[in-house]
Amino acid sequence: MMPWAACFPHVIITTYTRSMKHHIYVLLTACLLGCATPMPKQEGGKLNGVLPVENEEVVYRQSFEAPGVSRAEAFRRARRWWTIRYKSAKDVLQLADAETGELIGKGITTFKATQEKGQMKLERIVRETITVDTKDNAYTVTMRQFEILNPVTFNPTPIEKYYVSPERDLRRTFVGLDQHVQATYADIKRAIVEDKQ
């Protein structure tokens, strides 16, 4: 018996000829192609028309004004925001350079997919990288490297390769992630501009 046959115990191979080898190869190839997971599509520079794509990666980047807030103060407020959001800034911050005003952190959080009447609730776990680049009277937030984590195994899937069926649930997930990013922008703005945590 061939080694791969152990994977298919219900298949009994009695004779193994060149013709059978060809048929089995064709059957396995067709099966693998038929079982392939569809990938999200890029439409107009966005993944499934929702998430912005930059060089094949989902990237959000937006600059904000912070009138009257120095770079040092914006940096301090952003660092405090990280501590409150993730319970410990040192666990998630990979870079906190007060001299340049740059903070980079990777954290895990959850977000809800959008829901219409009659649809079941969907909550996703996401790991993301957030960069806050502070300046005098301004700051820029970049969010990227989104990975959806399996709720049981915590295995990550990059958002660019994430797929769930039916496709409407994929769109709900993407819209929910977009809303999560907008809410994060607003949360950081409250922390830096309004000095509210």
Q: Which of 120, 136, 166, 16 is nearest to 74 (CA)?
A: 136
Residue with tokens 């409250």: 190
Q: Which of 174, 179, 156, 96 is nearest to 132 (CA)?
A: 96
Q: Is the Cβ–Cβ distance between 157 and 108 less than 8 Å?
A: no
- Tokens encoding 67: 């009138």
pLDDT value at position 173?
Answer: 94
Structural domains in the chain, sorted by start? 3-34 (no CATH), 42-192 (3.30.530.80)
How many Cα neighbours within 13 Å face the side chain of 153? 4
pLDDT value at position 21?
Answer: 52
Identity of the amino acid at 167: E
Round to whole Å and give the CA distance between 24 and 26.
5
Round to whole Å and give the CA distance between 145 and 158.
7
pLDDT value at position 12?
Answer: 41
What are the counts of helices (DSSP H) followed by strands (DSSP E) for the chain? Answer: 4, 10
pLDDT value at position 5?
Answer: 45
Q: Is the Cβ–Cβ distance between 188 and 142 less than 8 Å?
A: no
pLDDT value at position 133?
Answer: 98
Q: Is the Cβ–Cβ distance between 131 and 103 less than 8 Å?
A: yes
Round to whole Å and give the CA distance between 131 and 181.
13
Residue 103 forms beta bridges with which residues? Answer: 96, 132
pLDDT value at position 168?
Answer: 87
Tens of pLDDT along the chain (197 residues) come to 444 444 444 444 444 455 555 444 444 443 443 444 567 777 788 998 999 999 999 999 999 999 999 999 999 999 999 988 887 666 789 999 999 999 999 999 999 988 777 778 889 999 999 999 999 999 999 999 999 999 999 999 999 999 988 888 999 999 999 999 999 999 999 999 998 76
